[in-house]
Structure 1
Amino acid sequence: MSGSAGGTKTRREGLVLGSVRGTPIILANSWFLIAAVTVVIFGPQLQNIYPSLGAGAYLVAFAYALLLLFSVLIHELAHAVAAKMYGWPTHKIVLNLWGGHTEFDFSKATPGKALVVAFAGPIANFVLAGLGWLVKLGLPEAATAGPVSLGTAIAILLTNIFIWANLLIGVFNVLPGLPLDGGRLVESIVWKATGSQEKGTVAAGWAGRIIVVVIVAVVLAVPYIRGTQPDLTTTLIVVVLAGFLWMGASASIKGASIRLRLPAITAGSLAVPAVSASQQCTVAQLWTLRGEYPSEPIVLFGADGRPAAVVDEHALAHVPPEAAGTTPATAVARSLSGGAYVPDTAAGAELVSYLAQLPDTEYAVINRDGKITGLLSQAKVVAAITGKPIS
């Protein structure tokens, strides 16, 4: 890991610890919360087990948190290295309250490559667990049956924690549902079968939701079935974790569903048919046009033939008759930004990307000859993408 220029620095997300081949490693502010919870929960337990530690028990508990952080870091670095191997741009590695995530560009992914990148993380944790086991074999506990010093006992305890933490991280992440790494297995199978990554992502997201239900049922419901009650700390951890997993699965489903709808979204199909008139005309001429086309919006074009404004119906209707012949059309119209028009063939991500560059909430639609054929509202595009009705 190479240090960032200027050393550790602060970003809105947290502290930048360094970078790996240009990819920043960020310690999110939320990590300090989980570190504090770890110290508060395990500090008193260690004091009970090793009374001679005193306040040092809290330092050992903090070491728990650091070992977990290190394990998550290696997990995310494995993802990043695998992604780099395939030439995927890696934007950042974030270590946070929930563990961590690596943000990279999936645009060049294939089912097989996505699977390799996903499982690189859990495999790294299994390797760490194996290394921890080798270290444990060399500790006095494994070599002799006699009593050991307090320092050795703490070393054995931390080694065990390291081994089990990595095993749990590895096993948990191979569960077959998003946002866990194992969800990529479900995604890749469906992707390969259907040819659609988005359908694979939706399936993996639903698998993730099922996993959440199973985890909650096993951890919380089983004790009640046995006539006992689940531990309060365990309940809190499971509820928070389940909430995180559910939100992640839901976000995956929502994002993929939007991408599935994009190809069917075209400017021409969403636009309201419109008529056009020159900016040079008068309100009287607009009234004549309105008589011929009573419901279509009127889009004004400039001297260059490009859409320039949209007639405001309320303003048009309230011009005094005696002034209609001398009032310019521009006086009853709202201007469009330069370039606020799209071809009627613009579709999907191309349409969304184009509209995102403009501040307007409505856009003229033109055909291949440059003639104005419709008026497209931003709200209608958003509704089509999200699947929600216009509010």
Structure 2
Amino acid sequence: MPDQPVRRPPGTIRIGSIAGSDVLVSSSWFIVAGLVAVLVAPRVDQVQPGLGPWKYVAGLAFAVVLYLSVLLHEASHAVMARRYGFPVSSITLHFLGGMTAIEGEANKPRQEFMIAVVGPLTSLAVGAGAVGLWFVTPEGLLRMAVEGLAGANLLVGVLNLVPGLPLDGGRVLKSVVWGATGNVHRGTIVAGWGGRVTAVAVICWPIAQESVLGRPPDFLDFILAFVIALFLWSGATSAMASARLRRRLPGLVARDLARRTLTVPDDLPLGEAVRRAQEAEAGGIVTVTSGGRPTGVVNEAALLATPEGRRPWVAVSTVARTLDDGLSLPVGISGEELILAISRNPASEYLLVEEDGSIYGVLTTADVDRAFRETRQ
């Protein structure tokens, strides 16, 4: 069979791969690249007069070089994550920089710290290297590019160490609080508040800009501050909401939510299977072979949709879902692992089995949802 096409986020273009991960460029990157070209063009004209429209091409080339350093920053995250065994599906370059899509969460504070801190350290290293290169680069456009590369990477490295989510520094703070308290959720909440404080500082920056830099803010400064602050606030808020959600997940235990189950031959009339289940006060029906091997779980919605008059004439297997991979779960599964298992293989019912393969019961997503809502009260 041909390989299934890899789904990419809408509005992105794949330009290659690095560290085993797809490198994607979002449509917003072209906007910021054009903006950089326009902003850099006057400086290009000062350094190399007489280029005419080519000054914008030079500005665009600088934007490309700048984002290549952003790609190095993100690639360092990807390499470190893979070192700890976490898959990395993609690296995306966008309006505000880049994003590395790491699948899974760090299991230890040290993993979180190392994956987060390596990005800013890479930017600082690139910036320091560009500073050293500046001294041996002849004057002209090349020196201007090296100068801009040094300043941008040093700035990115320092700003990314600001202790607030969703910045890398926020993940560093999260790992420190996690290590000190032993509570990953508390670490996320603290780092989330750090991100919110940072967002407020960014939105207030244009007001203080003139007294600090001696240059009054223009319209673009206010727009940029608003966009960055919105990005920081929404990222921090999302992380905090996720932490509060995950804090409730340990209360979801499959064993405690299991329904008593009746096993029946798959060719038994549906009406008889329902009668036996009612007598046994069973909340789930599992079809089995003559040797006792489970083959399917009766779908409650399909059962209720079958008129009672037809039930004696149809086999129970007609309303049972075959036990494909992912529909049979260990009875000891719980918390976030349970939620991930359900999300990977969506279904209404799952079979819960003991370690020896014997049937324990049936778990329904309706019961999981109900239990989760109760944990919020």
Q: Place the TM-score, normalised by the shorter chain, in its bin.
A: 0.7 to 0.9
Number of equivalent positions:
356
The two structures have a TM-score, normalised by structure 2, of 0.74
Alpha-carbon spacing, 1:163–1:345, altered in 2? closer, same or farther (3 Å): closer
1:299 aligns with 285
Deviations, residues 264-298 of structure 1 (Å, cap 9, x unaligned): 21223334x456374535637845864885xx745
1:132 aligns with 130
Deviations, residues 126-173 of structure 1 (Å, cap 9, x unaligned): 233333333444467xxxxxxxxxxx3544543432222122111110
2:150 aligns with 163
1:19 aligns with 18
1:74 aligns with 72
Alpha-carbon spacing, 1:383–1:94, altered in 2? closer, same or farther (3 Å): farther
Partner SS for 1:346? coil
Which residues of 2 match residues 321-360 of structure 1 at below 5 A? 327=313, 330=316, 334-338=319-323, 340=327, 342=329, 344-356=331-343, 358-360=345-347
Which of 187-196 and 349-358 deviates more? 349-358
1:378 aligns with 365
2:3 aligns with none
Partner SS for 2:179? helix
Q: Does structure 2 conserve the Cα–Cα contact (< 8 Å) formed by 1:30 and 1:97?
A: yes
2:126 & 2:273 partners in 1: Cα distance?
79
* 1:309 equivalent in alignment to 2:298: yes
> Offset at 1:365?
5.0
> Percent identity, aligned pairs only?
28
Q: Does structure 2 conserve the Cα–Cα contact (< 8 Å) formed by 1:139 and 1:156?
A: yes
> Offset at 1:105?
6.1
> Offset at 1:14?
2.2
Partner SS for 1:53? coil
> Offset at 1:35?
0.7
2:171 aligns with 184
> Offset at 1:187?
0.9
Q: Does structure 2 conserve the Cα–Cα contact (< 8 Å) formed by 1:179 and 1:245?
A: yes
* 1:240 equivalent in alignment to 2:227: yes
Alpha-carbon spacing, 1:376–1:46, altered in 2? closer, same or farther (3 Å): same
Alpha-carbon spacing, 1:277–1:114, altered in 2? closer, same or farther (3 Å): closer
- What code does the residue aligned with 2:321 have? L
Q: Does structure 1 conserve the Cα–Cα contact (< 8 Å) formed by 2:44 and 2:141?
A: no
2:372 & 2:108 partners in 1: Cα distance?
25
5+ residue gaps, structure 2: 1-6
> Offset at 1:82?
4.6
Alpha-carbon spacing, 1:281–1:122, altered in 2? closer, same or farther (3 Å): closer
Q: Does structure 2 conserve the Cα–Cα contact (< 8 Å) formed by 1:17 and 1:27?
A: no
Alpha-carbon spacing, 1:14–1:220, altered in 2? closer, same or farther (3 Å): farther
> Offset at 1:101?
2.9
- What code does the residue aligned with 1:65 have? A
1:134 & 1:47 partners in 2: Cα distance?
25
* 1:283 equivalent in alignment to 2:268: no
Partner SS for 1:336? strand
Deviations, residues 5-29 of structure 1 (Å, cap 9, x unaligned): xxxxx97742334534x45544444
> Offset at 1:111?
2.5
Partner SS for 1:182? helix
1:43 aligns with 41
Deviations, residues 325-367 of structure 1 (Å, cap 9, x unaligned): x545739x73222254545433234433543454532235567
1:367 & 1:18 partners in 2: Cα distance?
42
Alpha-carbon spacing, 1:382–1:51, altered in 2? closer, same or farther (3 Å): farther
> Offset at 1:176?
0.3
Which of 260-269 and 273-282 deviates more? 273-282
Q: Does structure 2 conserve the Cα–Cα contact (< 8 Å) formed by 1:337 and 1:359?
A: no
Q: Does structure 2 conserve the Cα–Cα contact (< 8 Å) formed by 1:177 and 1:183?
A: yes
> Offset at 1:239?
2.1
2:4 aligns with none
The two structures have a TM-score, normalised by structure 1, of 0.71
> Offset at 1:182?
0.8
1:14 & 1:62 partners in 2: Cα distance?
18
Aligned-residue RMSD, C-alpha: 4.2
- What code does the residue aligned with 2:179 have? K
Which of 181-190 and 203-212 deviates more? 203-212
- Which of 197, 216, 241 pairs up with 2:203? 216
2:251 & 2:370 partners in 1: Cα distance?
13
Alpha-carbon spacing, 1:234–1:261, altered in 2? closer, same or farther (3 Å): same
Deviations, residues 294-329 of structure 1 (Å, cap 9, x unaligned): xx745254445545424667557x535xx88x5457
- What code does the residue aligned with 1:15 have? R
